[in-house]
């Protein structure tokens, strides 16, 4: 039986790499983003052709609980079951607490944290029915550590770690696992924007910003890659990881070891 995986926020960056890896492992794939463009559906079709699996693109604004729940319901209607849920959708905004825009706080918490609650709530009964389930929440090193000016992101990612633990406890002995992957700095469009913003703010070149303001937190002094994150997620979705649940796996070049 071919298993079905939903990956939220999966048309670029970490999410797309995860979708590709799971497709390569034979999973049917549900791609998601908030857009609804021809290239989104073409991306799903290209994955199907490349890996010989079935795919579906579902547009859903993950700041909406109703949309997040409908995403999982649509996947179940299409494929008859949901076996894997990867909650990856996320956004970032950087500002001191006293000047942090309220609308940005609300949107970050909604997309980075609350959407995972909604998708999980709908997916769990489907996984119990299937007798198999893997939920992987993409947290962050900021789910285990804090940084200034990232209050909403840090709060959301700490919340994702807690949600993962609770989900694991509620599903013990049911063939379902839930874990959080905590990447450090990965060279994604979101991190590229942070680099560009720091270059403008500090009037520094890219190399200096990366070395002195980004990778200084990672003892490896290297970015993690999207493929490395995808490989970690794929392992957690395998039968070999059946007894790994309720924990965090850091892919951060040693950041959180400090």
pLDDT at 193: 86
Average pLDDT in the chain: 96
**pLDDT of residue 188 exceeding 90:** no
Q: How confident is the model at residue 97 (pLDDT cuts 50, 70, 90)?
A: very high
**Three-class DSSP category at 198:** helix
**pLDDT of residue 190 exceeding 80:** no
Residues of the chain with CATH 3.40.50.720: 4-184+224-251
Q: How confident is the model at residue 52 (pLDDT cuts 50, 70, 90)?
A: very high
Helices (H), 28-150: 38-51, 65-79, 102-109, 115-130
Contact 2, 53 (CB under 8 A): yes
What percent of the chain has pLDDT above 90?
A: 93
**pLDDT of residue 29 exceeding 90:** yes
pLDDT at 222: 94
Q: How confident is the model at residue 1 (pLDDT cuts 50, 70, 90)?
A: confident
What percent of the chain has pLDDT above 70?
A: 100
Distance CA 153, CA 2 (A): 35
Catalytic residue, candidates 153, 185, 223, 255: 153
Sheet holding 55-59, edge to edge: 55-59, 28-33, 4-7, 84-87, 133-138, 176-183, 248-251
The per-residue pLDDT for range 124-168, each reduced to its tens digit, is 999 999 999 999 999 999 999 999 999 999 999 999 999 999 999
Please name the helix (run of DSSP H) or strand (run of DSSP E) that holds residue 190, with its range, or none: helix 189-202
Closest CA to 106 of 76, 143, 149, 151: 151
Structure tokens belonging to residue 57: 């693109």
153 labelled catalytic: yes
The per-residue pLDDT for range 100-131, each reduced to its tens digit, is 999 999 999 999 999 999 999 999 999 999 99
Distance CA 51, CA 136 (A): 22
Q: Give the torsion sign (CA, 74, 40, 48, 127).
A: negative
- Quote the pTM value: 0.95
Q: How confident is the model at residue 213 (pLDDT cuts 50, 70, 90)?
A: confident
Closest CA to 53 of 15, 87, 26: 26
Helices 115-130 & 151-170 angle (0-180, nearest 10): 20
CATH top class, domain 4-184+224-251? alpha beta
pLDDT at 245: 98
């Amino acid at each position: 039986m071919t298993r079905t995986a939903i990956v939220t926020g999966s048309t670029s960056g970490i999410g797309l790499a995860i979708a590709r890896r799971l497709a390569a492992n034979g999973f049917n794939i549900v791609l998601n983003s908030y857009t609804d463009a021809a290239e989104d559906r073409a991306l799903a079709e290209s994955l199907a052709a490349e890996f010989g699996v079935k795919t579906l693109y579902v547009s859903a604004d993950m700041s909406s609980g109703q949309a997040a729940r409908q995403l999982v319901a649509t996947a179940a209607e299409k494929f008859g079951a949901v076996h894997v849920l990867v909650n990856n959708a996320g956004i970032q905004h950087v500002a001191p607490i006293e000047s942090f825009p309220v609308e940005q706080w609300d949107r970050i918490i909604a997309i980075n944290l609350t959407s995972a609650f909604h998708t999980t709530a709908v997916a769990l009964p489907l996984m119990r029915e299937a007798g198999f389930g893997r939920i992987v929440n993409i947290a962050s090193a900021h789910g285990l550590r804090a940084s200034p000016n990232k209050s909403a992101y840090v709060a959301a990612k700490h919340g994702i770690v807690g949600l993962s633990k609770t989900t694991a406890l509620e599903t013990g002995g049911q063939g379902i696992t839930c874990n959080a992957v905590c990447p450090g700095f990965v060279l994604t469009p979101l991190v590229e924007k942070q680099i560009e913003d720091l270059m403008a703010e500090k009037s520094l070149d890219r190399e200096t910003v990366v070395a002195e303001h980004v990778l200084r937190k990672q003892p490896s002094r290297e970015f993690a890659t999207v493929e490395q994150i995808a490989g970690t997620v794929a392992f957690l979705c395998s039968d070999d990881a059946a007894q790994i649940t309720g924990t965090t796996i850091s892919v951060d070049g040693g950041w959180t070891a400090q």
